[in-house]
Each structure stands twice: as C-alpha cells, then as structure tokens.
Amino acid sequence: MKKITSYLLPFFAILLFSSTALSQKVGSSSMQFLKVMPCARATAMGDAYSVLASGAEAVFWNPAGVALTDKSEVSLTYLKWIFDTQQGAFSFSMPIGNFGSVGVQVQYVDFG
C-alpha cells in the first residue's frame, strides 16, 4: 500500500499542476479596445486610478466614486487609433439632493 501511494501521489500532483501550466489563453485577442481607457489622467497614472476616481470619470473606473460628486460634471473623450479605428466616450454625473448621485456613460468604437 505504501508503494502504491508513493507512485500515485506524485502522479496526481503532476496531473493537477500540468493542466494550469499548459492551458491556453483562449479568447484573449478580441475586444482589445476595452483595454484602452477613456481618461487621459488615469492612463497617465498607469491605469491605477480606481481609488482616486470621482465625478464623471468615476462612472467608468469606480462607480462608487460617483457618490463623491458635489456638482454636475461632463467628460468627453475622442481617440483616433491606427487603421482608422476610433473610440469615443461620454460620461455625465450629477448629485441628486440628499439621495446621492447618478452617473451615465456611453462608449462607441468604429473600426473604420
């Protein structure tokens, strides 16, 4: 019994770890435009903006940041990429009295 266990334990360990080591990244090449952020300040900070996001831009980064809005804000973004690819974004946030805030964002991508 001890001999069987000494063979089975390494076999199952190799089997368990080889599946994750040899797995492929399926579906990682589509929708790459989602990685481009529609905010120059956040991109300049290396996309480490979730904690600092407030106002209209917070709708995209951290929706809870909209609660910090003390006045109405609008953010418009237009990006022109290679091969006539274009991306645009519109975001709006405004406080609603004592109830908190509301925010809306719309994005589009045109692949030419």
In the structure encoding, which two tokens stand for residue 103, read together? Answer: 């925010």
In the structure encoding, which two tokens stand for residue 105, read together? Answer: 């964002």
Condensed to tens digits (0 to 9), the pLDDT of residues 44-56 reads: 887 777 777 877 8
- Segments in 22-111 forming alpha helices (H): 40-44, 58-61
Condensed to tens digits (0 to 9), the pLDDT of residues 73-98 reads: 999 989 888 788 888 889 999 998 88
Condensed to tens digits (0 to 9), the pLDDT of residues 4-22 reads: 777 777 777 776 776 665 5
50: DSSP letter:
T
The residue to which tokens 């300040």 are assigned: 41
Whole-model pTM above 0.85? no
Among candidate residues 79, 80, 106, 78, the one with its CA nearest the CA of residue 92: 106
